[in-house]
Amino acid sequence: MTIWWFVLWSILKVLVVTVVLLTAVAYTVLLERKVVGRIQNRWGPSRVGPFGLLQPLVDGAKLFLKEDIVPTSVYKPLYLLAPVLALGCALISIAVVPFGNPEVAPQGFRIFQISDVNIGLLVVLGITSIGVYGIALAGWSSNNKYSLMGSLRSSAQLISYELALGLSLVGVVMLAGSLNLRVIVESQAAHGLLSWNIFGGFQFVAFFIYLMAAYAETNRAPFDLPEAESELTAGYHTEYSSMKFATFFMAEYANMITVSCVATLMFFGGWTSPLGNLIGPFQNQIINAILPIFWFVLKVFFFLFLYIWVRGTLPRFRYDQLMNFGWRYLLPLAILNIVGTSLWLALKQ
């Protein structure tokens, strides 16, 4: 009955990952508040716990305990479904992400990856693309013009940037010859920093495109038009409050984390060490298992920091600029990148 063991293991992994992820989300919020605070020359949350480290907990408690308001004129089923959908999609996509060295697999079960799927990358993309429903439905079911406007913007933005996003990854896929995230990472393992796709694979253009598109996909600054508070109050989640609002909030940060993970995996060699084989495998299996996770978390952290940094410094785009940028620059550039990469590959052979 290996299959039941498989299920059991999977459930365990899912639980662990979910808990870790949600915690990470909470602390990313804290990180953001801190970093942005420093950027704006203030302290950020610092009162609750040492360095304000307990702030996320209290925030959570506050949101959780707040009165659950459902406005009268909303379309209730969807109004309730929307945040669930948003968070669900955000969480699911982490399932195919390998956090650490997959070779650490007692009894044949990989512990650092929930599911090793052949088409892992496509799964991530697919789930991300489903994620748009959360926002779209939230906006629409709220029966509020700001919300609707926000969700319309969001839908259009997501559809537009998804293309650039997908195409920017094609180059990497071609280099690796697989859609399996594990294989992609392993293809960058050989010489550390030098064999990362962004450097060794000459995918810096793709990386740039990916980064832009990813920011847009996650509705983050400078592409946070769907929730531009100065225009649309709070965009699609104007009518949401308390825990439902928190759910959206979490979904956004979970998405950020997913996107950062993917960036890491695709361009920065995933769990592999930037030093490559310079630091050979240690004798200690534990260290061998933990070190890749360290590298991975470090890289993801870097991307999250980048997110916050960008948010803290760059102004918001205008909507037509956003569309123009996506269709007129990113998309052709992504296609050019594919052409270039394939030419390079063809010449290399």
Partner 1 sequence: MHLILFIVFAGLCLAGALNLLLQKHPINSALSLVVVMTSLAVLYLLLGAEFLAAAQIIVYAGAIMVLFTFVIMLLNAGREERTLGSKAAVALGFPAVAAILAVIATVILKAQDLGSVSLSDGITSTEELSRVLFHELLLPFEVTSVLILIAILGAVSLARKGHGDQEAGK
- The sign of the CA dihedral 291, 18, 180, 344 is negative
Cβ proximity to partner 1: between 33 and 153 the closer is 153
Taking every pair of C-alpha atoms in the chain, what is the biggest distance, in angstroms?
65
Task: At 160, list the tokens.
Answer: 């537009």
Closest distance to partner 1 from the beta carbon of 85 (Å): 9
Closest distance to partner 1 from the beta carbon of 159 (Å): 6
Burial classification of residue 193, based on how many CB atoms lie within 10 Å of its CB (0-12 exposed, 13-18 middle, 19 or more buried): middle
Cβ proximity to partner 1: between 1 and 286 the closer is 1
Cβ proximity to partner 1: between 55 and 128 the closer is 128
Closest distance to partner 1 from the beta carbon of 139 (Å): 7
* Interhelix angle 242-267/285-313, nearest 10 degrees: 110
Cβ proximity to partner 1: between 26 and 125 the closer is 125
Closest distance to partner 1 from the beta carbon of 314 (Å): 27
Cβ proximity to partner 1: between 259 and 308 the closer is 259
Cβ proximity to partner 1: between 80 and 290 the closer is 80
327 sits in which H/E element: none
User: Which residues of this chain interact with partner 1, rule CB under 8 A?
Assistant: 3, 77-78, 118-119, 122-123, 125-130, 132-133, 136-137, 139-140, 148, 151-152, 155-156, 158-159, 162, 166, 177, 179
- CB atoms inside a 10 Å sphere around CB 67: 6
Closest distance to partner 1 from the beta carbon of 15 (Å): 21
Closest distance to partner 1 from the beta carbon of 134 (Å): 11
